[in-house]
Amino acid sequence: MVLPMRCGDGLIEKGARWEELKNSRTIQMERSRLAYLEKIKDVGQLIAGNEYSGSLGLDHAVYSYGATGRFHPAALIAAIKFAQSLWDKKRVERFTDVRAAFEEFLVRHKSFINQLGHSMGSRMRSVDSLLEMYGIILEGILAGDLTDEEIIARFQASPHLQTLKEPTDPEPDRLVRKRFSKAVQSAGIVREILSSRAKCTECGARLPPSSRSKDHKTPIEEGGMGTLDNLQFTHPYCNSGYKEKRRRSTAEGM
């Protein structure tokens, strides 16, 4: 009778240890999950919203939707990674200087998002290709007055971008019908959003409603008041130190 009791005690002790181990692992997993969610939140604030003063307020209609009005998850991930790389490389200010031109290029060549968003195999390969394209476009615009054709020609140096080309048929739905297909409707909605979107008064790029930052045209320090005539909307980042640097540069150049 002694041995079974000892065996039972050992089983109870092992069970208690197992429960303790499980609880410890659960706590570790929960901490890891919360840390991951915090990281996602921090990264997400780089591109959207107006709570963080460094938010670029990237417009999903520009970065995440292709010419057919289809949302591409890979394009959204690429936009987040692109914003993060700009901060890591301390190039946010330089990007903001030419942001309007950069985004207008993307809007004129929406089909590139379609081609890279779902034709590169794995999603991460699509993300890498989109990031490479963004880098080439940005460098091309920063280099000077290059035409779209000259920037596109630079894609030829990359094996992942060599096949990019403008579609011969601009219709979002290959099969043209009497009634509007969902693809045509989606493309029409994106086109209307892009054409009617308000522009940031500082950088001139599109300004999504969720990323508007209220700004005084005449600063409070200079006597500016909170009147309707003195109100303008900008991206959060443009309403931070960038605005002051830009105005100082303008004053020095006069």
Q: Which among 66, 95, 63, 62 has a CA at the least distance from the CA of 79? A: 63
| Mean pLDDT of the 13-17 span | 63
pLDDT tier for residue 1 given thresholds of 50, 70 and 90:
very low
d(CA 252, CA 107): 33
pLDDT average, residue stretch 198-208: 95
Q: Please provide the DSSP assignment of 91-157 as one string.
A: -HHHHHHHHHHHHHHHHHTTHHHHHHHHSSSSHHHHHHHHHHHHHHHHHHHHHSS--HHHHHHGGGG
pLDDT at 113: 93
The reported pTM is 0.77
55-75 mean pLDDT = 92
**pLDDT at residue 181, rounded to an integer:** 84
The burial of 68, by beta-carbon neighbours within 10 Å (0-12 exposed, 13-18 middle, 19 or more buried), is given as: buried
Torsion of CA 240, 75, 95, 62, to 10 degrees: -80
Convert the pLDDT of each residue in 118-144 to its tens digit: 665 566 789 999 999 999 999 999 998
Which parts of 113-238 are beta strand (E)? 213-216, 231-234
**Chain segment 100-109, per-residue pLDDT in tens:** 999 999 999 9
**Across the chain, what does the average pLDDT equal?**
82
For residues 234 and 243, the answer to whether their CB atoms sit within 8 Å is: yes
Domain boundaries, the chain: 60-166+180-198
